[in-house]
Structures are given as C-alpha cells and as structure tokens.
C-alpha cells in the first residue's frame, strides 16, 4: 500500500485528493520506482485544467527521480537499487510508480535526487530547444520569455554557455537579478514595458533576434514575432497565458519569412533518442554549466499549494514535491 494524488475531473487545485492504492507489479518493459522527488511542470497544470485532456480519474505528474525497486520482464538496462530519473505520460504524483523503462535514465553520482527531478523534464526540454529545434550558435541573439522560471533558468544558462546573446523577459523587478545571475545580457520586465518588441529592436540595433523561445503563449506571441530578425525562428513551446491563436502563413512571410514551430518534448525524447539527450543534460550539470535552482519544496499532501504557486507566476526556479 502506498499513497498517490488522484484527480477525478478537470478543474482547480482543490480537485486533488491524496489516497491509498495498491500498485500492481511492473509489467513487461516497466520498472517500479520508490520516488524521492517529483518535478512540477506547466504540463501538469494543462492536464489538470483539461487544456491537455487526459483520461480521468488520473494520477498526474510527468517527471520524478528515485530508486528502482522492481524490474519487469525484458529489462536489462536497469536493476534493483539503481538511481533513476524519468519522464512519462503521467503517474508521478505518488510515493511509488511503475514507469516505462524506455523513458528513464540512470542518475550519475554527484547529482542529488531532488536536482534530477527538478531538471529532467525541464532540462531535456532545453536540450531539445537549443540543440535540436533551433541549434543555437555563438553570437546568435535569442529572446527567452519567463527567464526566471524552471525552464527559463536552465535555458538562459545553456544559451549563455553556448555563447549566445540572451535577452531575457521576466514578470517583475524582483526577477531581474535572477535572470542576470543566470547569464542574461539584457532583461526586459514584461509588466513595465509598452512594447517588448520595441525594446528588443533597441537592444539589437534594430535587427531583432534570430530565435524567440516563448513558453508564455497567447499574451506574448505577437511580441515574439515582432522581435524576430528577418528569417528568424519563432519557437512557441508553452501556454502559461493560454493557447496561441491560429496564424495565417502569409503573416510569417509578411514579417520577414519567419519560421514557426510548436515542439513537444515527447516527440523528441523518444526511446531511441532519450539516452543521448539525458547524457548531454547530465554532462552540462556535471561541468557546472547548468546550476539548477530549487526555489520551493512541498510535501505530496500539499500538491494543491504547489500548483497554486506555479500558476501564480511568483516562483523563480524549479518547484519540487517530496513524497
């Protein structure tokens, strides 16, 4: 018997309920993990509210770290006692979870479980953004929204390690220092500017940026498009302020032959690609290029409060839930 957080219908954080459950043994291709830390992500909110529909009742949560307790048939890559982190389609809000072995990776010595849980999904997302979706290069100018958030902190650090010029957008004055500490060259406070795009043009001498990484969605989409240089790349990868409205392809042509993409991590971190992505991520942590910041820790029973904090936009860095 172990505990898990269930949700029976879409809605607010108050819909969560901590319950006991009997977890079946891991099936073929699965490993059972005794979880020590769970990462919190915006996709969890999208699933809770119904923006990303999931079958309910459900146990949400898409990343965690812990120790392998049991191994299903056909698994050679893991054994009992291995420290692992994983991403998946749900089920992480629990003390124990059966997860596909193909979506897990061993956590190297020197990386604590809470750090692994805080960065695995977010860090793989950043690896996808800067190495695959738009291979960021030295001296490229990039615009990073929500630069003080869980993904934004890692994205800023990785982009700066590459040698890109980072223009960060944050929500308030208190987060300016966070963005600067993580390597931002310039910081725009979204709530204190009349035009993000005009600020970007001023910073770049009228040229704009080669790529905009926008996890905010509807509220900043137009500003991101207007911030791009000719033949620039618009990467919209989140919906914190709501989904982006439909875009006519001619708009991209009119604004300078722009490219628009909407990547999803699980289309990139497929079983054949995940090991190399995880290795690249943990290498960046090992050499100190990525310095994850865990801003808040919550108990599993307080998952509703963790969601409220993430939705508020007041957190800086990652939020971790401890079973």
The pair phi, psi for residue 44, each rounded to 5°, is: -65, -40
- What letters, b where the CB count within 10 A reaches 16 and e where it falls short, cover 201-217? bebbeeebbbbbbbbbb
pLDDT tens for 250-288 read 999 999 999 999 999 999 999 999 999 999 999 999 899
Residue of 177 and 313 predicted with greater confidence: 177
Q: How far apart are CA 181 and CA 48, in angstroms?
A: 33
Question: Which residues, in sequence order, are CB contacts of 94 under 8 Å at separation 6+?
Answer: 2, 3, 4, 5, 21, 23, 35, 59, 61, 300, 323
Helix/strand/coil (H/E/C) assignment for every residue in the chain: CEEEEEECCCCCHHHCEEEEECCCCCCCCEEEEEEEEEECCHHHHHHHHCCCCCCCCECCCCEEEEEEEEECCCCCCCCCCCEEEEECCCCCCECEEEEEHHHEEECCCCCCHHHHHHHHHHHHHHHHHHHHHCCCCCCCEEEECCCCEHHHHHHHHHHHHHCCEEEEEECCHHHHHHHHHCCCCEEEEHHHCCCHHHHHHHHCCCCCEEEEEECCCCCCHHHHHHCEEEEEEEEECCCCCCCCCCCCHHHHHHCCCCEEECCCHHHHCCCCCHHHHHHHHHHHHHCCCCCCCEEEEEEHHHHHHHHHHHHHCCCCEEEEEEC
pLDDT tens for 134-164 read 999 999 999 999 999 889 999 999 999 999 9
Q: How far apart are CA 165 and CA 184, in angstroms?
A: 8
Q: What is the mean pLDDT of residues 97-108?
A: 96
Q: Map out the domains of the chain with their CATH numbers.
A: 2-121+266-322 (3.90.180.10), 138-261 (3.40.50.720)
Q: Tokens for 16, please give them.
A: 């969560």
Question: How many CA atoms lie less than 13 Å away from 26 in the CB half-sphere?
Answer: 24
Q: How far apart are CA 113 and CA 84, in angstroms?
A: 8
- What letters, b where the CB count within 10 A reaches 16 and e where it falls short, cover 52-68? eebebebbbbbbbbbbb
Q: What is the mean pLDDT of residues 21-44?
A: 95
Alpha-carbon distance values, 259 to 77, 253, 268, 313 (Å): 39, 9, 19, 28
Q: Tokens for 78, please give them.
A: 């893991």
Contact call for residues 86 and 64 (beta carbons, < 8 A): yes
Q: What is the mean pLDDT of residues 33-55?
A: 94
| pTM (two decimals) | 0.89
Q: What is the mean pLDDT of residues 102-120?
A: 94
Locus of tokens 């699980």? 266
Per-residue pLDDT band for 105 (boundaries 50, 70, 90) equals very high
Predicted local confidence at residue 157, as pLDDT: 97
Q: Is the pLDDT of residue 89 over 80?
A: no
Q: Is the pLDDT of residue 67 over 80?
A: yes
């Amino acid at each position: 018997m172990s505990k898990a957080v269930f949700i029976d219908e879409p809605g607010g954080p108050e819909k969560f309920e901590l319950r006991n459950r009997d977890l079946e043994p891991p099936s073929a291709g699965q490993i059972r993990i005794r979880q020590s830390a769970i990462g919190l992500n915006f996709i969890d909110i999208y699933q809770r509210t119904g923006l990303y529909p999931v079958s309910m009742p459900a146990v949400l949560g898409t990343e965690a770290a812990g120790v392998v307790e049991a191994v299903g048939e056909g698994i050679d890559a893991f054994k009992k006692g291995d420290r692992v982190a994983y991403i998946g389609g749900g089920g992480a809000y629990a003390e124990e979870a059966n997860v596909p072995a193909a979506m897990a990776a061993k956590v190297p010595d020197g990386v604590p479980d809470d750090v692994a849980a805080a960065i695995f999904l977010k860090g793989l997302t950043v690896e996808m953004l800067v190495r695959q979706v738009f291979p960021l290069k030295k001296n490229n100018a990039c615009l990073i929204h929500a630069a003080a958030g869980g993904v934004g902190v890692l994205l800023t650090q990785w982009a700066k390690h590459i040698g890109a010029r980072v223009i960060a957008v944050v929500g308030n004055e208190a987060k300016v220092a966070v963005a600067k500490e993580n390597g931002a060259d310039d910081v725009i406070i979204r709530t204190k500017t009349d035009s993000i795009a005009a600020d970007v043009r001023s910073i770049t001498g009228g040229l704009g940026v080669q790529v905009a990484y926008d996890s905010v969605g509807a509220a900043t989409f137009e500003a991101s498009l207007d911030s791009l240089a000719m033949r620039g790349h618009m990467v919209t990868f989140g919906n914190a302020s709501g989904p982006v409205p439909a875009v006519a392809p001619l708009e991209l042509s009119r604004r300078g032959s722009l490219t628009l993409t909407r990547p999803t991590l699980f289309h990139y971190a497929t079983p054949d690609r995940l090991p190399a992505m995880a290795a690249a991520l943990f290498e960046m942590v090992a050499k100190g290029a990525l310095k994850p910041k865990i801003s808040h820790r919550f108990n599993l029973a307080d998952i509703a409060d963790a969601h409220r904090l993430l939705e508020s936009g007041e957190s800086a860095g990652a939020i971790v839930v401890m079973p």
